[in-house]
Chains A and B, each alone.
Chain A
């Protein structure tokens, strides 16, 4: 099953969040999200996909974008939680237990003690991937068990 368990990156006195990990382990498919009408202020190369959980039909949101320096950001969220945050082509990351994650790529994950990925500090694990946009997305989806086959990535990204 394509899922990466980051348990070993958190200390023994902290835990992964079972509800979130269950959803990450479950089979999921990504589909192209419908973009809303009207003018929107989207970041460079921003794409948005809907991720449907095969069994419960719950919908998650997967976004990816790249800033002008080539740093890539990927995020998988539900209505009220960020499940994973991928940072590719970025600097060092410092985990709360002082374990430092080498550049260039890491993926943030929530734990019981540090559950919010939109707040500092958070844990992350190191990933190996090529530097480009599609490979980063592919690696992220592989670690979170998301089937990308039905998603239409914009042509400019191919």
Chain B
């Protein structure tokens, strides 16, 4: 095959897959390229006076929206903005359309827009990202504060306070000192909110904290509270909960499942018994 034949072949491939159809005042052009889902990439062209206006029909914004990358602080949005700027295109935020105005004397510039669009359609779906997880409901520590009134005693219960371990300083959710079995004991409560974020990381954090904090020779009682609903909450949450349950005897903390009605009631009663005398002293 010589150069001319190759050129003819390529031209015929391009032309065969190229389609133009009238839409309102302008034309919709089906390009000889497809997107990640196999759909033909389309542009809309309209002649306005001395200019040719070419736009993407809203498909770039649609793709960003599908990917959850439409927000200004996302990689997809920033990438689109940078490439659009480099190719002289404009992102119309009001209409959700990417467009470029080309002089009628320089129609070849439409190719810049086509290049921009095929780049975005090819590259954006490959951005590796993790969609933000939206969750409803209160966080465990907020739930505990709301349901156990005694934990709100400001003079006796320290919240989000630092506790010294053998190697590290840790921030814990609640801390107070009471007499347990006739001995002044530092009660430390840590909420391992397994439903928010990575469950195993939360469990690992709680266990490391437990090892470090209980290594010091101090009279401490560490309570790790987690929340496992009856519906299971998914395998990763269940496995993280089991980690917390399994190591309590070895490490020396006490685990409470706040999602279990009986265990929750036991914890609430225990805290109430420990702190209720201070409730009256404080006069609340």
What class of interface size applies to chain A in its complex with B?
A: 35 or more
* A33: interface (CB < 8 Å): yes
Partner of B72 from the list A33, A39, A46, A120 (CB cut-off 8 Å) is A39
B269 to chain A, nearest CB (A): 27
A76 to chain B, nearest CB (A): 11
Q: A44 CA to B134 CA in the complex, in Å? A: 24
Contacts of B232 in A (CB 8 A): 56
- The total of chain B residues at the interface (CB under 8 A) is 42
Contacts of B234 in A (CB 8 A): 56, 58
* A55: interface (CB < 8 Å): yes
* B162: interface (CB < 8 Å): no
Knowing A40-B71, A67-B59, the reply to whether A119 touches B97 (Cβ < 8 A) is no
Inter-subunit contact A118/B58 (CB<8 Å): no
* A63: interface (CB < 8 Å): yes
Q: A121 CA to B229 CA in the complex, in Å? A: 39
* B28: interface (CB < 8 Å): yes
* A79: interface (CB < 8 Å): yes
Inter-subunit contact A69/B125 (CB<8 Å): no
> What does DSSP make chain B's interface, helix, strand, loop or mixed?
loop
* B57: interface (CB < 8 Å): yes
Q: What are 9 A-B pairs at a CB distance below 8 A?
A: A42-B70, A56-B233, A57-B136, A61-B68, A65-B96, A79-B131, A79-B133, A119-B37, A120-B36
Nearest B residue to A36, CB-CB? B71
Q: A65 CA to B61 CA in the complex, in Å? A: 10
Chain A residues within 8 Å of B, Cβ to Cβ = 33-34, 36, 38-44, 46, 48, 50, 52, 55-59, 61, 63, 65-69, 73, 75, 77, 79-80, 117-122
Inter-subunit contact A41/B57 (CB<8 Å): no
Q: A138 CA to B137 CA in the complex, in Å? A: 27
Q: A36-B71, A43-B65, A122-B37 are in contact. List 19 more A-B contacts (CB 8 A).
A: A33-B134, A38-B71, A41-B70, A41-B80, A41-B91, A41-B96, A46-B70, A57-B135, A58-B234, A59-B133, A59-B135, A65-B61, A66-B58, A67-B57, A69-B57, A73-B62, A73-B66, A118-B66, A120-B37
